[in-house]
Structure 1
Amino acid sequence: MPNTSIDALVIGSGPAGLMAAESLANAGRTVTIIEGKPSAGRKLLMAGKSGLNLTKDEPLETFIRAYGSAADWLYPMIAQLDPVEVMAFAEDLGQPVFTGTTGRVFPKAMKASPLLRAWLQRLDATMHLRWRWTGFDGDALTFDTPDGPQTLAPNVTVLALGGASWSRLGSDGAWADILADKGVELAPFKPSNMGFTVAWSEHMAPHFGTPLKNIALIAGGTRHRGEAVISHRGLEGGGIYAVSAAVRDGGDLAFDLLPDRPVEGLVSRLRKRPRKQTLTKALTGLGLDPLKRALLQEFARPLPEDPAALAALIKALPVKHQGPRPIDEAISTAGGVPQSSVTQGLMLEAIPGMFVAGEMLDWEAPTGGYLINACLATGRWAGRYAGMYHP
């Protein structure tokens, strides 16, 4: 027989799940958290290895535009947990924050572990680890646990199981089949904030691991000033992630190798090139470092002699690639539960009493604090509505 003593159940202990649990507890509900891994918040801890970017310090009206087509849907949720509120949340946990030069906000400790530890200590909830959700038995939920199969029949449930990337940290997207079998319409998963595979020639090997700095990345009408990293597998890094959705959806990728130089000036300089000057020396004189010169040769060899044609390549070098890296390597994913499948309070239309938060929802955003902020905001939103739900 299922355990019917469970009041409010949260499945998943990432930022969305923990925020939902806290909101449920604040509403007076008795909360149980289920986590499939041996410890809580594993993807959050991984994100904090290079500095936990909690949010971005910018006005809400600017901040919300990062969510693209999902901005209108997410706006009321993020408005109640905007960057200012996220900073206050961290401070309340005893984790002072600072804003970097690009507006990104980090805990002064930089790591995620002190914040996660303080948050777990504050939570009024019971947590079961190594419990993996396997589906439904009628209206009840079934789990594989260290003590064998278990069945729970909570009064209300919040799902915060993540997207479909970094499966070793828990977000493997296996929940999609479970929900689809219950009649929930889903959007296909797509990688987001990912690198791209490039079949480099052997001449690029000396440049592997080298950052490509001071460029503009162009894709599908998007232009982003940033950096990329040349790896043996292809192209990675913040600049690539910023345009990855546009490239994934069919946009051609190009690099402006000298974004501060107008094309007319480059044409003029190239036309004045002495006859005996080598092309390498001429390109060096324009300000192209060895990596940028190597990329020109890699993607556009043989280079044109015509100054206008060569200048055009420098300003918009077509980047040949073999598509996105595998979805499990992506920082985040798009797809999942669309707006049409949930109520305003993020309850599944097909499963009354079951709410959804975080990356399970069909939205995407670039790195830079937008991902964690939206997970926190949707978790609070779902938790508050779930807290008011009674079967």
Structure 2
Amino acid sequence: MHEWDAVVIGGGPAGLMAAGEIARQGHRVALVEAKPSPARKFLMAGKSGLNLTKDEPIGALLAHYGDAEDWLAPMIRAFDAQAVQDWAQGLGQALFTGSTGRVFPTAMKGSPLLRAWLAELDQLGVTRHVGWRWTGWQDGQLSFNTPDGPQWISPRATVLALGGASWARLGSDGAWAAMLASQGVALAPFQPSNAALSVAWSDHMVPHFGAAIKAVGWQAGHLTGRGEATLSARGLEGGGLYALTPALRDGHALYLDLAPDVAAAELTARLAKPRGKASWANHMRRGLKLGPVKTALLQEFGRPLPQDPAALSLIIKHLPVSHAGLRPLDEAISTAGGVRRDALDDGLMLKALPGTFCAGEMLDWDAPTGGYLLTACFATGRWAGQAAARYLASVTTR
């Protein structure tokens, strides 16, 4: 039996944020993580540059949370892009903002920020346990499998920050869903978000595996975007596609604009010029200047290509991309689904389990990459931590 006022289960960004907020109010906090070290997915994300947030007006920021915008809005307004930057700088991290508004640590990785963050939690008196896997409740107590055998804790407040259901090897395996469902907590099914596409390429695409598709436009349903993607043996992946995942999940067709900065009429005019003795293929190459990767994609998805300039221009601007659907859930960068809004009160406390709060990606919200994922994890972790601290204060005074 251990005596703590609050236990935070999950050592990712939301859990770390919640633990700090509770400890600042003078409560005894234990932070419990199943893996041998905390924040593994956070560190993995930082390997390609830790995108902390997106520096843009709050209205534009909130618009990226789709159906969850209204209920996440108070939390993100309370810890918006500027607040994220102020917090990271307060931990001694120099930041820079890229041309698109994305904010990164100057170090371009997550480990320096994580070390400073954990040091701050140590100073606040937060106790950390790693290698402790939560297995649910036993006789009203939190039950854990640990390196030293089973352990049970009876805190007065619990914050669950257990992640979604992707990248299980880093800790987000979604195993908590069955435990919460057994307690009457309403859940939305997990679905992949920010996911790659499976494509069965023809042999002529093999030389282009690993190549980046640049300066293109994407469309699926009502969603559009600009951004790069990468060709791989398994299909297509990259930020240009990820924002379209909600529409692709719903079965909308995917279209690629190979020349987003050139109007169809201009393409038609170029193709209609006399080609003399040049072959049609050389005429296309000189007139369109698509480059080898885009030309290969045009051949892959557009054959047989019409020689009518207007018809070909329409294909170039609206090329249907044949694919076999999203890659498996565990490969997705993030997941939609999880604890539903109607299962929670305004402080992110579970209605079915008073004193138990939820935060981070285990909540049912969805957002594209580009700083939006981490911003909401920080914001909901902070919000749940503050609500848990208020709850502890209220039960202490009863």
What's the TM-score, normalizing by structure 1? 0.97
- Partner secondary structure for residue 271 of structure 2: helix
Deviations for 1:52-91, whole angstroms, at most 9, x for unmatched residues?
1100111111111111111111110001110111001011
Take 1:181 and 1:64, find their aligned partners in 2: how far apart are those partners?
33
- Partner secondary structure for residue 190 of structure 1: strand
Partner of 2:229: 228
Partner of 2:369: 367
Out of 111, 114, 117, the residue aligned to residue 116 of structure 1 is 114
Gaps of 5+ in 2: none
Query: Structure 1 counterpart of 2:83, which letter?
Result: E
- Partner secondary structure for residue 44 of structure 1: helix
Q: Contact 1:197 / 1:325 at 8 angstroms: preserved in 2?
A: yes
Q: Contact 2:142 / 2:153 at 8 angstroms: preserved in 1?
A: yes
Take 1:115 and 1:14, find their aligned partners in 2: how far apart are those partners?
13
Take 2:170 and 2:60, find their aligned partners in 1: how far apart are those partners?
31
Take 2:274 and 2:296, find their aligned partners in 1: how far apart are those partners?
20
Partner of 2:29: 31
Partner of 2:42: 44
What's the TM-score, normalizing by structure 2? 0.96
Take 1:140 and 1:111, find their aligned partners in 2: how far apart are those partners?
38
Q: State how 1:1-391 maps to structure 2 within 5 Å.
A: 3=1, 5-123=3-121, 124=124, 125-274=126-275, 276-284=277-285, 285-390=287-392, 391=395
- Partner secondary structure for residue 378 of structure 1: helix
Take 1:73 and 1:96, find their aligned partners in 2: how far apart are those partners?
31
Q: State the 4+ residue runs in structure 1 displaced beyond 3 angstroms.
A: none
Gaps of 5+ in 1: none
TM superposition shift of 1:275: 5.8
TM superposition shift of 1:4: 5.8
Q: Identity of aligned pairs, percent? A: 60
Take 1:195 and 1:161, find their aligned partners in 2: how far apart are those partners?
23
- Partner secondary structure for residue 147 of structure 2: coil
TM superposition shift of 1:223: 1.6
Deviations for 1:233-291, whole angstroms, at most 9, x for unmatched residues?
10011101121222122211010000111111222222234264323212212121111
Q: Contact 1:283 / 1:293 at 8 angstroms: preserved in 2?
A: no
Query: Structure 1 counterpart of 2:187, which letter?
Result: L
Aligned residues: 389
Take 2:53 and 2:163, find their aligned partners in 1: how far apart are those partners?
18
Deviations for 1:313-369, whole angstroms, at most 9, x for unmatched residues?
000000000001111111100000111110000001111110000000011111111
Query: Structure 2 counterpart of 1:278, which letter?
Result: S
- Partner secondary structure for residue 244 of structure 2: helix
Q: Contact 2:2 / 2:152 at 8 angstroms: preserved in 1?
A: no
